[in-house]
Every structure is written in structure tokens, then in C-alpha cells.
Structure 1
Amino acid sequence: MIPWVQLDSARTPDGAQELRLKRRGSEFSIMLGTNELMNSRLSGSEEALAKLSCGRIASHRQPRILIGGLGMGFTLRAALTELGNDAGIVVAELVPAVVAWARGPMAEIFGGCLNDPRVTIQEADVGQLIRSQPAAWDAILLDVDNGPEGIVHKSNDALYSLQGLSAARAALKPGGVLAVWSQGPDSGFSRRLKQADFTVEEVNTRANGRRGARHVIWIATRT
């Protein structure tokens, strides 16, 4: 068996933990301690995050999309496939090393999508972008952690609080969609979405098509 090789590492924004980029043959993995945050072989649920969201705003002209978390680019690439040439996508990534990995050792996985004229990459806190631009987005897609309970960066919790969800709703255009990826279910988060005055749909999906771990995507619509 081909062994894993660590290519690089980076501290999380609070400096408390370490992200590690590893490679085994053509397979990549990003680890946080003993937790695997993402793997290049498992893209199904991240792609579903984009497909479900873009499907809900298919009638919107010149849609603006905000993606929180670059990761391995699965959500970004799926969104580019779903959206027309009039769309604009901003990807907010808080860890500069993740952007460097996308342009460096993982460039083959990204397939040039970072150079698509519809795409803007901002090394920024997605929460700050949400709070600074009211009624600006047709869809906000959040995949910044393992779900509504942040493990990579505790400040991510603020995104999923009632106050954070209310800010996301204010940042959406009427009919806009907030979509959130999670490693598993969270009934408390579903309640908070409804308290923030969203219409909520909870979708179960797989990490890899019809196989792999079960993940959850919330589709919350500003009606």
C-alpha cells in the first residue's frame, strides 16, 4: 500500500490547532488532529450543497453566490457547472494556506476553476462578509467546519447562532437561500433556522454518491 506523505501544515486562525495536508498517490486528505476534514475521493455531499442551492435560484438573473470555505473546491466546481455565465461567485477562505494548497499541490484537483472569470477568492472571514453586505446574495453556502458545531475554529459557532442566522437572512435577497453542510443531524440547528424566519428543508445525502457516510444539508429560504 502507498503510504501517506504530509505535504504541508498550517495553524488554525486561533493558533490552537494544526491543519495538515497529506497525499497518497493521487489522493489528498486534509486533517485536523485525528479528524479527517475532507478527502479528494469523497465529494458527493459537498457537490450536492451546490446543486441543491443553485437549483433553488435557477430563475434568478445574474445571481451572486457566497461560498464559505474553499476546501478542495468540490462545492465551487459544482456551482460553476450549475450556474450560467452571468453568475458571480465569491469564495471566502479564512486560512491562507488552504488557498495556497489549491493553487499549488492540489491544482490538478481544482482543474483551473480558480481562474474562472466568475470566481473571486477572498482570504476573509465569511461571517464578516455576511454582516457587511445586506440583501446582496442570492445564495450563501456554508461549509466552513464539520457542521453547526465548530471544531476547526470556535468563532465559526457564531455563524450558526440565532444572531448569525438572522444576519445571514438579512444578507440574502428575497427568495435567497442559505445552505449549510453538516457531518450529521442537529435538531437544535433546525429549530434556530426556523426561529430566524427561514423556510427550512433538511436533506440527507451521501459522502460519495449512493455510498459513504451520511451527511446533512439544510436548505433555508428567505421567503
Structure 2
Amino acid sequence: MGARFEELAWRETPIGAISLRRRRDPALDVEVYEVKLDDEFLMSSLFPVAEIELARLGLAPLPRRDLDVVVGGLGLGFTARTVLEDDRVASMLVVEAVEDVVDWHRRGLLPFAAGLAGDPRTRFVRADFFAAVAGGAGLDPDHPGRRFDAVLLDVDHSPRNVLHPSHAAFYTREGLRRLAACLRPDGVFALWSDDPPDVAFTEVLAQVFAAVEPHVVRFANPLTGGESANTVYVAHTAV
């Protein structure tokens, strides 16, 4: 394997083969880290803006300190790393279904996420986020029924484009009600989506949460020379 490309990790999982690879982009003169599921690209270190904004937008409305936060889906770690940069955060529970993804961080394979795994506020839980919510016991297996100030989710491409059919039920009114039960009063659920704001999904959120706002996050796309955009939904429980 040449120096311009290296597969750092690969593993077959119940939802497909997940891999982490590093390549040198000669046009941009940067190291690019990418995650693939089978032949589908999940994320790239070239486009971290919306993942970072998921944490910032999700935590910004909270008026208190000593925040307990859940990050659903670890990936390259941009969301989790940004959570830890907020000095109001007391604890961060990272719910990740694939143990290998956690191992990437523990082994230090992702230099831009350095310190995430070793931060004393970080705790990893190997679990299917969607199954944990549906099960009713909550997101912390050591403390059933525990509630959090914020839950930040970045797993599926969007509520309409899920990685596995079993995830679809989460994005219904009943699924979101179970998620809301994991939040404290005046808590926040924030969701990353690759699609533009979805009116129908926003209406479903509004049936469960006291306030909902979709944010369009725009960022420069170095591959096209133009601009791309993602959506971050921010939903609040009642006070």
C-alpha cells in the first residue's frame, strides 16, 4: 500500500463492513480521514463543520452548568471533542454500536480527536442507540432511567435515509417520545442530517417537544470549490 493511501482499520459488523482509511489529497495537500460502511462513505475529516455545530447548537441554549451529555454515534469524534471543549460539561456518555470505532480513538488513530478517550468526563457505552431508546430503560445501562441535559445524535444520513431499517421507528412520534423521556426538563435533543430541513419531520418533532428549530449549516466544499449544507435540528423539552 502506497504512502498516499492507508486502510487503518476494517471490521465486519451486523450492518456491514466498517473501515477507517487515511489518504493524502495532493490537490488540497492535506491528510484526509474517511469512514466507510461497505462501499458507502459515512464521514470525512474534510467536512467537520456540521458535526462541530451539532455540539455547539445543541449545548448553546442550555442555561446551566454541570451538564450531562449523551453523544449518539462517535465516528471521527468531532461532535464529542467539541462537547468536551465546553467547560460547563460535567460528563459525556458516548453511545456507539461498533466497538472498533471506540478503539480507533483509544489507539490514537485520529490526531484531531486527541484527548477525547482519555478525558475523565468521557465514558463509552457499546450499544445500539436506537435499541437502547426503544427498550425504555434509557441510555446509561449502569443507571436505568437516568436523564440528561442534552442528547446529540449523528448516526443516520437523515430521518428518511437511515443506515438500517430498524432505525426508522426512532423518527416517529412514539420513538421521539421515548427519547424525550431521557431528557431533563428544559433539555435539548439535537440531530444532524445530511438533507435540507424536512417539514414533515419538523412537525413530528413539534408534536413531542416544546420548541423545535432546524438550523441550516453551510460550509465550503473544497472538492467542488462551492458550498454544501447540512441540517441540525434542535428540540427543547418543556421547563
TM range (shorter): 0.7 to 0.9
Query: Identity of paired residues, percent?
Result: 32
**2:164 match:** 153
Per the TM alignment, residue 129 of structure 1 is displaced from its structure 2 partner at its CA by 4.3
- What is the Cα-based RMSD across aligned positions, in Å? 2.3
**Alignment CA distance shift 1:140-1:208 (3 Å):** farther
**1:81 match:** 85
**1:49 match:** 54
Aligned match for 1:202, one of 214, 217, 221: 214
Per the TM alignment, residue 33 of structure 1 is displaced from its structure 2 partner at its CA by 3.6
Whether 1:100 aligns to 2:103 is yes
| More RCO (CA 8 Å, sep 6+) | 1
Per the TM alignment, residue 212 of structure 1 is displaced from its structure 2 partner at its CA by 4.2
Q: Give the secondary structure class of the aligned counterpart of 2:190.
A: strand
How far apart are the structure 2 equivalents of 1:70 and 1:50? 12
**1:217 match:** 232
List gaps (5 residues or longer) in structure 2. Answer: 25-30, 139-144
**2:151 match:** 140
How far apart are the structure 1 equivalents of 2:41 and 2:86? 28
**1:60 match:** 64
Per the TM alignment, residue 82 of structure 1 is displaced from its structure 2 partner at its CA by 1.8
Runs of 4+ in 1 over 6 A off after TM superposition: none
Q: Give the secondary structure class of the aligned counterpart of 2:175.
A: helix
Q: Judge conservation of contact 2:108–2:114 (CA < 8 Å) in 1.
A: no
How far apart are the structure 1 equivalents of 2:86 and 2:33? 25
Q: Judge conservation of contact 2:11–2:17 (CA < 8 Å) in 1.
A: yes
> Higher helix proportion, which one?
1
Deviation track 1:171-203 (CA, whole Å, cap 9, x = no partner) reads 111100000000012222112101224411010
How far apart are the structure 2 equivalents of 1:212 and 1:76? 25
Per the TM alignment, residue 209 of structure 1 is displaced from its structure 2 partner at its CA by 9.0
How far apart are the structure 2 equivalents of 1:208 and 1:67? 25
- Larger mean Cα displacement after TM superposition, 159-168 or 122-131: 122-131
What's the TM-score once normalised by structure 2's chain length?
0.82
Count the aligned residue pairs.
219
- Larger mean Cα displacement after TM superposition, 170-179 or 27-36: 27-36
How far apart are the structure 2 equivalents of 1:10 and 1:149? 26
Compare CA radii of gyration and give the structure with the larger one. 2
**Alignment CA distance shift 1:201-1:162 (3 Å):** same
Q: Judge conservation of contact 2:218–2:229 (CA < 8 Å) in 1.
A: yes
